Structure 1
Amino acid sequence: MARRLRSVELEFVDAAPVRLVFAAEVSAAPEKVYRALADDVPGWPGWFTAVTAARPTEGGTGREIRLRGGFVIEETIMAAEPGERYAYRADRCDAPGMRALLEEWRLAPAGTGTRVRWTFAADGSWVCRMALRMARPGMGRAFRTAVRALDRRLAGAAA
């Protein structure tokens, strides 16, 4: 059952007890990557395999995300800066021990493409924090796989 998490602001991305940061480059321009992140929320399962379903809520100011393993997260969009940043806070989540969660996607030009940086900022019980730290390698693989899939998807959309 989903529980209400602590409401955090954007600064949490730098101050969270657990910060997992991953980066990779794609060939698409930042604006195109941003549209895939922010404007095509239902398209996330097509490139991020950890996401089984995604839909905008609250007239586009929120999202409902369903993850592998049956987890459901209700989110509020915290930053929507086209071509630069997309961030959201988890308001409700059924992950055991999770107390606060904010994710930020930063985009920066890299040659003719984009450097994509994903920060997963969280707080939770000590068991949750330890589990997240231990999950870093798997989350990194999931991120890299997702970004490669997104790159292929965006290249196919341009054709």
Structure 2
Amino acid sequence: MAHRLRPVGLEFVETAPVRLVFERETAAAPDAVFRALAEDVPGWPRWFSAVASARPTEGGREVRLRGGTRFEESVLVAKAPELYAYRVDLTNVPGPRAWIEEWRLFPAGTGTRVRMTFAVDGTAPFRFLFGLARAGTGRAFRNAVAALDRRLAG
């Protein structure tokens, strides 16, 4: 069953009831990381192991995770090479009411410091479970950025 989420703007990243923030550095330059995030949407499964498929849509993306979770998203900002953010508009996950994922890229020597923020609101059980998922989500993020770095180096 699909759940339509509240259409929030980028300011929600700072005001969301639940925020998970993760960072990792890469050797790749910010412009290369940005291109992989924003321009090579179908390439996400090659470096983000949780993603089974991703495809661009008119103004957004459609993403399927391994295990069957689906998202229809609207891209809010694609400002090369520093910011890529999208809002989840529709999902089969029960409980969320609003959801934004923001990727910020900062120069770090010749590489990039990648910061990803999950900003969500939802039912009390959803917020609780999302918070419990912090460790696993952080591990998935760090592994994905490491795999992206290897891919960009190759």
* Same fold per superposition (TM over 0.5): yes
Show the counterpart of 1:42.
Answer: 42
CA distance in 1, matches of 2:98, 2:2: 13
Q: What residue identity is the alignment partner of 2:118?
A: F
Shift of 1:3: 1.3
Check the 8 A contact 2:86/2:101 in 1, yes or no: yes
Shift of 1:111: 0.6
CA distance in 2, matches of 1:26, 1:2: 36
Show the counterpart of 2:31.
Answer: 31
CA distance in 2, matches of 1:2, 1:42: 22
Q: Give structure 1 regions of 4+ aligned residues with deviation exceeding 2 angstroms.
A: none
Shift of 1:2: 1.4
Give matches, 1:50-129, under 5 Å: 50-58=50-58, 61-129=59-127
The CA RMSD measured in Å over matched residues stands at 0.5
- The 3-state SS of whatever aligns with 1:70 is coil
CA distance in 2, matches of 1:2, 1:87: 22
1:27-48 deviations in Å (ceiling 9; x for gaps): 0100000000000000000001
1:114-156 deviations in Å (ceiling 9; x for gaps): 0000000001100000001000000000000000000000000
The alignment of Structure 1 onto Structure 2 pairs a total of residues equal to: 154
Check the 8 A contact 2:72/2:90 in 1, yes or no: yes
Show the counterpart of 1:131.
Answer: 129
Identity of aligned residues (%): 65
CA distance in 2, matches of 1:96, 1:28: 36
Q: What residue identity is the alignment partner of 2:149?
A: D
Show the counterpart of 1:145.
Answer: 143
Unmatched 5+ stretches in structure 2:
none
More helix by share: 1
Unmatched 5+ stretches in structure 1:
none
- The 3-state SS of whatever aligns with 1:120 is strand
Check the 8 A contact 2:13/2:119 in 1, yes or no: yes
